């Protein structure tokens, strides 16, 4: 993945860095419950002072995720977890109250796994633990009032009186 270009992060210029730092701290507390993250992860959090979010996301250690030119970019920060170094926090521009959503990418489903391989059971256990951590992190973000897709969906449905996506049929 290439780092984002300077103009591609403009949708997130106003992202409050204090919210981004709060999201990182929550992520780290869940992903590394028995200690500090590795030095490589801590170095990824040594952000240049004085940058606004758009500038910060446009440079390493943030990565740009997007498959097609028409897809909104997602920005990723590889924070890993105690057992797996590739899990990422993602920041995605979103037309909602905060202007973005947070998510966790376990980054462990791209591999085609032979179920008969000697290490298949261990890898599936790792995937299950990564999924558990993903849900725990995203729930912790939601509990802290940070923008996640489930929170967006709940708010959207509440704003629609619980009728979002349902057509009213008149007799």
The predicted-structure confidence for 111-170, as pLDDT tens digits, reads as follows 677 888 888 889 889 999 999 999 999 999 999 999 999 888 888 888 865 554 444 444
pTM reported for the whole predicted model = 0.83
Q: With 0-12 CB in 10 A as exposed, 13-18 as middle and 19+ as buried, what is 107?
A: middle
Cα 166 → chain centroid: 29
Q: What is the mean pLDDT of the chain?
A: 85
Is 133:30 a contact under the CB 8 Å cutoff?
A: yes
Q: Which of 4-13, 39-48, 107-116, 139-148 has the lowest mean pLDDT?
A: 4-13
Tell me the C-alpha distance between 73 and 95, whole Å.
13
Predicted local distance difference test score (pLDDT) of residue 32: 98
């Amino acid at each position: 993945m290439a780092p984002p270009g300077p103009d591609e992060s403009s949708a997130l210029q106003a992202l409050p860095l204090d919210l981004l730092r709060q999201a990182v701290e929550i992520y780290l507390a869940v992903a590394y419950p028995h200690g500090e993250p590795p030095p490589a992860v801590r170095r990824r959090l040594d952000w240049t002072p004085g940058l606004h979010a758009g500038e910060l996301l446009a440079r390493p250690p943030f990565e740009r995720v997007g498959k097609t030119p028409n897809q909104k970019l997602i920005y990723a920060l590889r924070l890993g977890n105690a057992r797996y170094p590739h899990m990422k926090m993602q920041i995605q521009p979103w037309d909602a109250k905060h202007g973005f959503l947070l998510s966790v990418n376990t980054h462990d489903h791209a591999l085609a796994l032979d179920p008969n391989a000697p290490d298949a059971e261990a890898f599936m256990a790792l995937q299950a633990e990564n999924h558990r951590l993903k849900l725990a992190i995203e729930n912790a973000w939601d509990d802290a009032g940070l923008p996640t897709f489930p929170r967006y969906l709940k708010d959207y449905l509440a704003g629609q009186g619980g009728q979002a996506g349902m057509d009213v049929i008149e007799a």
